Amino acid sequence: MTAIPLTHILVLSTLLFFIGVFGFLTRRNLIAMLMGLELMLNSVNINFIAFNKYLYPEQIEGLGFTIFIVAIAAAEAAVAIAIIINLFRTTHHIDAEQADSLKY
């Protein structure tokens, strides 16, 4: 049995990152944009863990960083969802196309 090479994992995480970017840029629902963001952050987590495991197995810096990213992403999502709920209360929509009261 051979181990999965590092490049496979990096290809996976890069794909995941850009699927997240694509979702963020094309989705018009603010919650769906937030999901795209989570995908991007999780792909970075995969990167960190893969580098840590394959290249520097004697360290735990990458793993530690991942835990912080997960925690901060949760905080970010909490604040973002609170703001989106408040936006819905005042304007009755959460569509990025309609959130255009601030323009020129």
Partner 1 sequence: MTDFLHLLHHELLLSLVIVCMLILKLADRGRSGSSWSNLLNVLLLINFAGGLLIEAEGSLFDGMFRSNALLHFEKNVLSLGLLLVGLLATPYLRNHKHSAEFHILIASTLLGMFFMLSAGHMLLFYVGLELATIPLAALAAFNLNRGESSEAGAKLILSSAFSSAFLLLGISFVYGTCGSLQFEQIALTVSGNPLQLLAFTLVFTGFAFKLSIVPFHFWTADVYQGAPIPVAAYLSVISKAAVTLVFISVLYSVFGALQATWTPYLLITALLTIITGNLFAMRQDNIKRFLAFSSIAQVGFILTGILGANVDSEGIVLYFLLIYLFSNLAAFGVAGLISAATGKESILDYRGLHASNPRLAWTLTIALFSLAGVPPTAGFFGKLFLLTSGASLGNYLFIGIAALNMVVSMYYYLRIVKAMFMETTAQPIGKIPTGVAPAIALALCIAGILVSGLSGSFYEHIHLLTLSY
User: Which spans of this chain sit near partner 1 (rule: CB under 8 A)?
Assistant: 17, 20, 24, 30, 33-34, 37, 40-41, 43-44, 47-48, 51-52, 55-56, 59, 61-62, 64-65, 68-69, 72, 75-76, 79-80, 82-84, 86-87, 90-91, 99, 101-103
* Closest separation in Å from C-beta 87 to partner 1: 4
Instruction: For partner 1, give the closer residue by CB, 1 or 87.
Output: 87
Closest distance between partner 1 and the C-beta of residue 2, in Å? 21
Give 57's DSSP letter: T
Do residues 3 and 68 make contact, with C-beta atoms less than 8 angstroms apart?
A: no
**Closest CB to partner 1 among 3 and 92?**
92
CB 52 within 8 A of CB 60: yes
Residue 79 φ then ψ, to 5°: -65, -40
80 close to 34: Cβ distance less than 8 angstroms = yes
CB 84 within 8 A of CB 31: yes
**Shortest distance, CB of residue 101 to partner 1, whole angstroms?**
5
